[in-house]
Amino acid sequence: MANFKFEVKARDAAGRIGKLTLNGKTVETPAIMPVINPKQLIVTPKELKEMGFRMVITNSYIIYKTPELREQALKEGIHNLLGYDGIIEVDSGSFQLMRYGDVEVTNSEIVKFQHDIGVDVGTFLDIPTPPDVSHEKAEEDLRITLERAKEAEGIKEIAMNAAVQGSTYPDLRTYAAKKLSEMNFEIHPVGAVVPLMESYRYKDLVDVVIASKHGLRPDRPVHLFGAGHPMIFALAVAMGIDLFDSASYALYAKDNRYLTPEGTKRLDELDYFPCSCPVCSRYTPQELREMPKEERTRLLALHNLWVIREELNRVKQSIKEGTLWELVDERARSHPKLYAAYKRLLEYREYLEKNEPVTKGSAFFKVSREALKWPTAVRAKERAERVKPKFLETVNHPIFGEIPKYLSLSYPFAQSEGEENFTIEKPAREEARNYIMAIAEYQFGEGAGEAFKDAFVELSRKTGMPRQIKVKGKHLATFRSADGLLTLGIEGAKRLHKVLPFPGMRVVIDEDAEPFARKGKNVFAKFVVDADQGIRPYDEVLIVNRNDELLATGQTLLNGEELKAFQQGLAVKVRRGVGE
């Protein structure tokens, strides 16, 4: 059985940077798999690897049906056939089934063949139901897909995709996702979405993806089958997509089409190349037009790949910086249908808020009206309303409206930019404790302020801002200058543990991890047995044992649902243990 691991490293919106390890090979997600047609190589697999593409996809059905390719693959293995030592995923013929209505192979035959030729990730022969068929037709196709999934689960010896089907019916997509999540698969593609993308039905694509995500386990990577245009990467990753694949780089090149992050240009339309990749730096549009068809196609394909790679890197950098929503907002304005999809995504408030980090490395930028519907803004206003009854004095914020005065130092209120500036007032010494109590209520939940009701707040001589929070010389917490939130010390964690009823802000770990957490060692996901479902990414949390005894405090990378689901990777970066 394949050695498959997936862990989260960073996140923003519902997007995540992940580390996927399979058969000793590692890929950072989000990642795209260029499609390789084994019968017609425009760009060689070796060139793809040199460009940084560590994962590719090809069609096992084409290899199966082509005698010379089949014989070579069975004899030498698919990696030698393609001349590629990275991760190779394969499709099963499902795309041909959707396009042509029939394939000459059974589900069990193609699964066995994929194993025999040594693929890294296989795909069983699911039924990709096109958009807008009747609900009855979609339901019947899904029944067959789930039967084949069960069959594949029983015979597979390699990592395998289990595609979520259900046409354009959200109820069927969620049902399929839940059923497949109960089975032993590694990756979940969202299938049969190419017709939606080809017709620019991005709004429907959002509904299909979110319905699928609602039912899927959060610890498995999600692959958007057939998606490869850079203009949708930011939106798709913000929805929670980890993997892409596409032959668009080659298909567009054959048609003299040139990819950009904002859309597609025809070569005949271009006087200048808006790109500095190796192709665009060396040639002019006119020079490419004058080339023989084969060479022109190859160079356009290489450009298209560079643009795809660059945009995915841009998306990953925005996740690191906490600016993915800004990138989504920018990209959405390149096409009206993409803009409509962006607005539709923002309607899924509960799903987005659950995945949105509580703090970011970048300020909140009100770049558009839609920014006020980003989950950071929605959550901030809701939590501010929770704090208001206890801290009645308010100030008027130019972006967020009326907010409690004592939250005016904290993210995102202080760390925001809009049309008008927000003046931050330094806290008077006699009011400093009110700021800390209000921040605790905002950050940890109702009643958390009680843990700091007798605290002394040390103000910085240089800035006048809060620094250390203490009681009788004991350190409770630190006021973070970067985001105006609190980092707990052990004494502060003990106090918070007393005032917040179980399971509030708690991560429960098993007996094996307990001694390490006490000593301040990090907590890994496989040792987590329970967690508060209200925990959000980057929250400061309390680490306890099954008896609710406090062991440590730290910052979680995962939300409450993920903490219970993930079995791999870091769960909580421990800051302090009770035994240190």
Q: Annotated catalytic sites, by residue?
A: 91
Q: Measured between alpha carbons, how far is 572 from 435 in angstroms, rounded to an integer?
A: 27
Query: What secondary structure letter does DSSP report for 428?
Result: P
Tell me which residue has tokens 């904290």: 410
Q: Measured between alpha carbons, how far is 337 from 340 in angstroms, rounded to an integer?
A: 5
- Contact criterion met (CB below 8 Å) for 388 and 404: yes
pLDDT attached to residue 13: 98
Token digits for 173? Answer: 């997509």
Spans in the chain with pLDDT lower than 70 = 1-2, 94-102
Instruction: Give the start-end residues of each E strand in 192-249.
Output: 222-224, 243-246
- Residue of 70, 74, 34, 71 whose CA lies nearest to 52: 34
Look at the alpha carbons of 407, 411, 414, 417 in this order and tell me if their dihedral is positive or negative.
negative
Q: Measured between alpha carbons, how far is 147 from 108 in angstroms, rounded to an integer?
A: 12
Token digits for 551? Answer: 């062991």
195: helix, strand or coil: helix
Strands 540-544 and 506-509: parallel
Q: Measured between alpha carbons, how far is 260 from 30 in angstroms, rounded to an integer?
A: 19
The one-letter amino acid code at 198 reads E
| Residue 294 bridge partners (DSSP) | none
Helix or strand run (H / E) with residue 77: none
Token digits for 506? Answer: 């708690």
pLDDT in tens, 153-207: 999 999 999 999 999 999 999 999 999 999 999 999 999 999 999 999 999 999 9
Token digits for 153? Answer: 């689960």
**Half-sphere exposure in the Cβ direction for 442 (13 Å, CA):** 32
pLDDT attached to residue 93: 76
266: helix, strand or coil: strand
pLDDT attached to residue 539: 98
Q: pTM of this prediction?
A: 0.96
DSSP string, 279-310: HHHH--HHHHHTS-HHHHHHHHHHHHHHHHHH
pLDDT attached to residue 474: 94
